Amino acid sequence: MTEIFLKSHKEESLKRFHPWVFSGAIARIVLDAEHKTSEPEEGELVCVKSAANEVLGIGHWQIGSIAVRILAFGIAELPENFWNERIKAAYKVREAIGLFTTDNNTFRLIHGEGDFLPGLIVDVYADTAVVQAHSIGMHLARKTIAQALIDEIPQIQNVYYKSDDTLPFKANIEGEKIGYLIQKEGEKTDDFWSLENGLQFRIDWLRGQKTGFFIDQRENRALVERYAANKDVLNMFCYTGGFSLYALRGGAKSVDSVDVSQKAIDLVNINVARNFPKAKNHTAVAADAFEYLTAQKAQNRTYDLIILDPPAFAKHRDAIKNALRGYQRINAKAIEMIRPGGILFTFSCSQAVDKEAFRLAVFSAAAQVGRKVRILHQLHQPQDHPINIYHPEGEYLKGLVLYVE
Ligand code: SAH
C-alpha cells in the first residue's frame, strides 16, 4: 500500500483523532510497487505514517488541500468487516436517540466525520437509503457501502446513489454518479412518502435538493409546532414545507409558505393536501425572499411567527463577509414584519459562519430595526447529525428563536 509520511510534529492532530491530513503536512509519499503513475490515485486507500515511521491510520487519498480522510486510526489495513461495523455502530446511535417509532422513519444514518466516515452521507426515507459521496474514495466504495446498508439495516431495501453535486470536479471519475445501486423489484419512485414525527412528506430524491429532504430541521420544526397556535405564520425558504406542516398541526391561524423554486412549492402543496386535506389556511408562493418581504412590507403585512431558513449564504470561508451582510439584511426585513410579541425562528446552515458570527449578524439586524429582542432558544443540528468532538468543523446548523417586543 502507498505510504504517506508526515513532516515531524504533524502527527499531533491525527493522534487526537482529527480525521483530515492536509497536503501541507506531508513530507513524502512512497508509492507501492503497482503504481504506474507518479502520484497516488484519487480515492485510493493509503497508510499514513509519522516522520518516525509510526502507523497513524488508513484513509482515502484525494488531490486538494485535504489530502487524506482517515477511516481508521492506528492501523494500516481496513478490517474485512469495516463498512458493516461502522454502519451498525451508526444505527445503534440512532436507536439510542429513539428515532425508530411508528411515527418516524426518516433519519440520517451516516453524517460523515460525525460517524467516523468522512466524505459519506446516508439519509434514510422509509425503506430507501439515499447515499451521497463527498470524496472520490467514498465514490469508489459505493457498491460495498450499498451492500452493507442492505445487510445491516433491516428496513432498507433500496439504495439510491446521488453524488452528481457533491463529488469534487474531475473529468474522469469512473462509474455513475447517480442512480439506484440496489432496487427492490417493483419499487415506485414517483409516489414515495416518508414519515417524520407523524407527518407525511413526499420525498423526491431523483429531482429534489440534497438527498431529497432537510432532515436536520426535524427537532426545530417540532418546536415551531409548539409556538404556532392561533398565529399567522410565514415560512420563508420553505422548500417542501417542513415547518409549514408542523405549524398547521400546531393550530396556526394561517401559514404562508414561500420558496424561489416552483418545484418546491408544488411539493409543499402536495404535502399539505396529503396531511391536511381540508386546510383552507395555507398559501404557497414561488418568489424570491427579498422581493417577497419587500412587497409584503409595502402593503403593511405583518406576521406573528416567521421562520427564516435560507440556503448556506457562505459556501467558503472567503464568502463570510458577504454572507453576514446577507443574514443581517434578511433578518432585519423579517424582524420589521413581526407584530409586537411575535416570534422569529432564524437559521444559518453555513458551516463557515459560526454561532457567534451568526448571532452578531442577527443582533445587528435587531439593532438596525430598533426593536427589543430576547433570545428564547438557541438551536442546532439534531442528534442524528452528530458532531465528532475531535472534528468541530462538523457543526454547521445554528438557529435562534427570538421574542420581538
Ligand atoms: N426550511 C426547509 C429547507 C430550506 S433549504 C425545510 O425545512 O425543508 C433552502 C431553500 O431556500 C431551498 O428550498 C431553496 O429553493 C430556497 N431559496 C434559495 N434562494 C432563495 C431565494 N432567493 N428566495 C427564496 N427561496 C430561496
Domain tally, the chain: 3
Pick from 130, 162, 193: which residue ends a domain? 193
Pick from 73, 91, 112: which residue ends a domain? 73
Distance 240 CA to ligand 1 centre (A): 9
The Cα–Cα gap between 74 and 76 comes to 7
259 CB under 6 A from ligand 1? yes
- Mean pLDDT value across residues 198-216: 92
Asked, for residue 294, whether it belongs to a domain, the answer is yes
Domain extent for 339: 214-404
DSSP 245-295: HHHHHTT-SEEEEEES-HHHHHHHHHHHHHH-TT--SEEEEE--HHHHHHH
The per-residue pLDDT for 171 is 56
312 CB under 6 A from ligand 1? no
Active site residue 47: no
233-252 residue pLDDT tens: 999 999 999 999 999 999 99
- Same domain for 363 and 224, yes or no, is yes
214 CB under 6 A from ligand 1? yes
122-151 residue pLDDT tens: 999 999 999 999 999 999 999 999 999 999
- Same domain for 251 and 379, yes or no, is yes
The per-residue pLDDT for 284 is 98
The Cα–Cα gap between 66 and 21 comes to 6
Q: Which position among 349, 365, 366, 402 bears the catalytic label?
A: 349
- Same domain for 268 and 143, yes or no, is no
Q: Is 93 exposed, middle or buried (0-12, 13-18, 19+ CB in 10 A)?
A: middle
- Least confident residue range of 78-92, 206-220, 265-279, 367-381: 206-220
Task: With cut-offs at 50, 70 and 90, classify the pLDDT of residue 34.
Answer: confident
243 CB under 6 A from ligand 1? yes
Mutate to test the pocket of ligand 1, among 106, 125, 235, 237 (most ligand atoms within 8 A of CB): 237
51-74 residue pLDDT tens: 999 999 999 999 999 999 999 999
Residue nearest to atom 7 of ligand 1 (CA): 242
| Mean pLDDT, all residues of the chain | 95
Asked, for residue 289, whether it belongs to a domain, the answer is yes
Asked, for residue 68, whether it belongs to a domain, the answer is yes
- Edge-first strand order for the sheet with 282-286 is 282-286, 254-259, 232-236, 303-308, 338-348, 398-404, 373-380
The per-residue pLDDT for 179 is 94
- Same domain for 313 and 369, yes or no, is yes
Pick from 158, 193, 228: which residue ends a domain? 193
Asked, for residue 59, whether it belongs to a domain, the answer is yes
pTM metric for this prediction: 0.96
